[in-house]
Structure 1
Amino acid sequence: MWANTIFFTKYHSTTSWRNSRAGGQVIFDQGTGIQPFLPPVPANADHSPLQKAFTLVLIIVKPIAGALKLILVSIVALVLILLQTLGLVLSPLPPLHRIYSRLISAILLRVILVLLGFFWIRHEVVTLKRGRGSGASKAQSSSRKQATSGELIVCNWSSYIDVLYLAFRYNPVFTQIYSETLTVRQVSLWEALCQSGSYPDLSPPEGVETLPLMDFVKAMYKKGAGPVVIFPEGTTTNNRAILKFIPIFKDCSVPETSVDISIVALKYDYSKFAPTFTIGLDNSYRLGHLFRTCAQFYNTLSVKSLASDESPSSAYFSAMDGLASTTSGAALGVVEPVEEDALGGVIINLMGRMTRFRKLGLNVKDKADFLDYFILRNNGISRTKKTVVTSKTSTTTSATAARSKRR
């Protein structure tokens, strides 16, 4: 684990990484120079002698606090699993079972978030239309409605913390997207947590039933299963940009009035350690990152939701609203309409304007290529003995071997 940390630090602190390639594809975005797959490293800053002494104290105290909080997180997680298992006796009564599950998740997951340092999470409803001040957003925030069954929550993805927060707030149905089939399947909370930072599965396993997105959302609505969460990037980033969406919305119209769409953007602020989780190939990565998160005394997460009347599911929504420039006239996050996925192009632009993140040309296949390169490099495998993937649209024995090593 420490070797991995050293690799990241050395790799990220030099300029040579910008010329590195994974699978024949550059592993940074050529248009912006942003590397969304490496853990962010804060800039070094000069400190006074007093600050250095305080840092030394933290070096001693943080591991102790991290260990204690990690134990408490484990205990709360076990209690959550136990209570959810006991709640299965209510399965014949779906409404009662959902209320029970919602209550248990809201309480215990919030406790876990507090132990991870997220004492206060600001959730703000925002408007992107010109001429509407923050007062409108605050009024909407105070009267915010609960997400309902059949509602589609579209969110960026940077960490397992995202999954914990969404589970705490909405008790939703989590999904996994497959970019090669453009279909989704339902996954449990635990599976969603494990997928964060993991090697992305581009196609579904044999025998696993998947559905087109809108068919899946409508099926969940009929079952009364709750809102549906989708991460259209298909993999985690370091929360500095937005990957190109998987064209999962390609069969949808603009506006898409058949379902309610909520656009949620999560953003982390940090000074030294980022709660983002880009690489979690095995349990050592996950445990190490979780320990460091617990060792933090305070972490910050801000959440923004787009006002419902500006959602692309509103009957009054115009595609031009979604592709308009920002209020400052800057081009941050603004993209051109995408013919194969018009709704996805609108959503990614709205999300970019909400977060002020740039939209990249990299996608989930580039993340898989990067992880192939990382696995080979981190395990010291010579390129002469093993060929890295040369096309991001083809599956090779190298990728298969990388997956087998991961498992």
Structure 2
Amino acid sequence: MEKFSSFRDPGTGIQASACTPFLTPVPPHEHDLFVTILTPIRAVVAVTRTAVIVVLVSIHFVLVHVVGFICRPVPPLKDVISWLGTALLARLALYVIGFWSMPTELIVRKRGKTPENKWNPRAGDLIVSNWTSWIEVLWLAYKYNPLFVLPVANAPTTSSAKNASSISYTPGRKTGTGSAAISSFDRVLISPEVIRGFRQVSLLEMISSTGKIPSASSSVPLRSLDDIRRSARRPVVVFPECTTSNGRGLLRFADVFDGASVPTKGYSIFLMCVRYDPPTPSQPSLSHSVPGATLNPLRHLLQICTSLSPQSISIRQLPLSESPSSQLFLVNEVVHEPRSDMLAEVCAVLIARMGKIKRVGFGWEDKYAFLDFYRGRR
């Protein structure tokens, strides 16, 4: 993994088997005879499961987009069809993949305090989470049938990827060995780009966008997050990282809330954190940080469907009474210095604490450089 050394986070030292928060974690390099023997069976199971998922996706498209469009003159009927079609089919898809049970855990920040009732996001509320895979997108659709939004921003202008590739592939003894040349490279993190706005997307488009970075779409009218929230008839899901990581660290949150006040007024903030178990020889990684070139994330779906054991997911949620929307919330207890987007910083701190995840200095802008380098060297 030396060629990706320039994408290690200098603040946390996150590297391990995946030396960057963008690379997909890989299982230990150990030979498992039992897994090898079961390879033909696993392949058949994966193809069968994937075929079932494709059928469920087709049914979802017909119900939500075709029938829903026909019922558009009757909004309540359209909402019921969308909710039933999304919740039922999303749960069936998760079950087929192997998620038979998906328990959630309420995390209380203050010791000795009893957790309150389960979440109940309403229309116009925001659900804020880290982003590791398309699986949590499917889970959110099943649980809350929310609206999904994607940020829109200009591509970062940087030569970091070119510098990384030239140094990582420079053999010999210019400054010692090739490894020494890599380790001596001092990479500067890319400056944050301004989020120009958001666009509302369907569940299928949100899933297919997993792992990708914000694009500067000109064909779709942009709206502010607050504008989308005000007109929404369902909760709105926001991923402030703006792209997926491999789950080893929490990426830098973009300024997505446009200077919203803390505590928030007029709507509630629901914070959650998602984590997956490390991969094993029989269980591929559930995180999806590198998107597929075509039909994303079909290849990743095939990989995780090879598992013959139940899948597991860790979902931790913060009680509403301790979220940034609580009128008793004290910002100084979480963030000690003023930030351009205080709400984004507060959410980042709380999500990192909930999931016990280290925050890294990399943002989606750095992933732009990483993907450019990764694809150029394959």
Q: Which TM-score band (shorter chain)?
A: 0.7 to 0.9
CA distance in 2, matches of 1:364, 1:144: 32
Matched residue type, 2:340: E
Of 272, 292, 295, the match for 1:264: 272
Report how far residue 284 of structure 1 moved. 6.1
Of 99, 107, 113, the match for 1:118: 99
Kept in 2: contact 1:337–1:345 (CA 8 A): no
Matched, 1:94 2:80: no
Extract unaligned runs of 5+ from structure 2: 15-19, 154-193
Kept in 1: contact 2:245–2:288 (CA 8 A): yes
CA distance in 1, matches of 2:328, 2:295: 49
Aligned to 1:240: 248
Aligned to 1:159: 133
Aligned to 1:353: 353
CA distance in 2, matches of 1:117, 1:270: 16
Report how far residue 157 of structure 1 moved. 0.6
Matched, 1:306 2:343: no
CA distance in 2, matches of 1:265, 1:318: 21
CA distance in 2, matches of 1:281, 1:61: 25
Aligned to 1:327: none
SS of 1:269's partner is coil
Aligned to 1:206: 218
Aligned to 2:263: 255
Aligned to 2:197: 183
Kept in 1: contact 2:334–2:346 (CA 8 A): yes
SS of 2:267's partner is coil
Aligned to 1:76: 56
SS of 1:124's partner is strand
CA distance in 2, matches of 1:285, 1:196: 8
CA deviations over 1:343-362 (Å, ceiling 9, x no partner): 11111000000000011110
Provide closer, same or farther for how the CA distance between residues 255 and 283 of structure 1 changes in structure 2, counting only shifts above 3 A. same
Matched residue type, 1:54: F
CA distance in 1, matches of 2:126, 2:201: 15
Aligned to 1:377: 377
Report how far residue 90 of structure 1 moved. 2.2
Aligned to 1:58: 38
Matched residue type, 1:234: C
Aligned to 1:283: 294
- In the alignment of these two chains, the number of paired residues is 328
Kept in 1: contact 2:208–2:295 (CA 8 A): no
Moved over 4 A (4+): none
CA distance in 2, matches of 1:293, 1:322: 37
CA distance in 2, matches of 1:145, 1:157: 19
The sequence identity of aligned pairs, in percent, is 31
1:139-150 equivalence runs, <5 A: 140=116, 143-150=117-124
Report how far residue 101 of structure 1 moved. 1.2
Provide closer, same or farther for how the CA distance between residues 152 and 129 of structure 1 changes in structure 2, counting only shifts above 3 A. same
SS of 1:300's partner is coil
TM-score, scaled relative to structure 1? 0.76
CA deviations over 1:192-239 (Å, ceiling 9, x no partner): 1111012x1343x2242212222221122xxx2x00001100001101
Report how far residue 17 of structure 1 moved. 3.3
Report how far residue 294 of structure 1 moved. 1.2
SS of 1:127's partner is coil
CA distance in 2, matches of 1:40, 1:255: 37
SS of 1:264's partner is strand
Report how far residue 130 of structure 1 moved. 2.6
Matched residue type, 1:153: I
Return 261-270 or 354-363, whichever deviates more: 261-270
Extract unaligned runs of 5+ from structure 1: 1-10, 20-25, 324-335, 379-407
Return 182-191 or 309-318, whichever deviates more: 182-191
CA distance in 2, matches of 1:280, 1:255: 36
Of 4, 10, 21, the match for 1:36: 21
Which structure is higher in helix share? Answer: 1
Matched residue type, 1:211: R
TM-score, scaled relative to structure 2? 0.82
Aligned to 2:186: none
SS of 1:242's partner is coil
For the aligned residues, what is the CA RMSD? 1.8
CA distance in 1, matches of 2:347, 2:271: 7
